[in-house]
Amino acid sequence: MTKRIAVVLLDEFADWELGLFAAAARAWLGASVDHYTPGGCVVRSMGGLRVTPEAALETLESGRFDALAVIGSSGWEAADAPDVGPIIRAMLSAGRPVGAICGGTLAAARAGVLDGRRHTSNAMDYLSGHVANYDGSLYLDSPRAVVDGGLVTAPGTAPASFATGLLGLIWPDHPLIGELSAMIAAEHRNA
């Protein structure tokens, strides 16, 4: 059965946070990857890549997907950032993996799903500076993604461990996840 993954993108999303995850999921693991944006509008990445989404973020329904990825953008820092809390909470409540990277961790904090889970982000003060009710008691200052309770969080500098962490939750026993981790690590062995 083909896994279905929903990806939330805002304008000026970080290309590098999406690329490895979405490409591995789609090309190597055979998943269907659907992109959702506010209003279903075309968005541009920081690098200028234009993405035409499959649908509007406002129509995203948790029951249609096996996993959710919330990709970073400075748009998550805005006071009028989309509220994706209901979809994040619904996915996690249904036992479906959620990944939030960089600015996407602000959406997870606003949803209240970081409370009671070990997590990371760009920095603890990044979360507390943008989310008034953020607790921070289980924050880990980690250069790698943190996985806890079906949620993967990562700083924007950790797209590889974000990808392998979320892919590992979606396909827990797939040998490709370990192979992908080894392939990524090989680049830095003699650095």
Predicted local confidence at residue 189, as pLDDT: 78
Ranges in the chain, pLDDT < 50: none
* E-assigned strand segments in 31-145: 32-37, 43-44, 50-51, 55-56, 67-70, 98-101
Predicted local confidence at residue 188, as pLDDT: 76
Delineate the domains of the chain, giving CATH numbers in brackets: 4-186 (3.40.50.880)
Assess contact for 95 and 89: CB atoms under 8 A.
no
Rounded CA-CA distance 162/145 in Å is 5
Tokens of 4: 């279905």
Rounded CA-CA distance 43/30 in Å is 25
Question: CA nearest 102: which of 128, 71, 144?
Answer: 71
Predicted local confidence at residue 187, as pLDDT: 82
pLDDT in tens, 69-119: 999 999 999 999 999 999 999 999 999 999 999 999 999 999 999 999 999
Q: pTM for the complete prediction?
A: 0.96
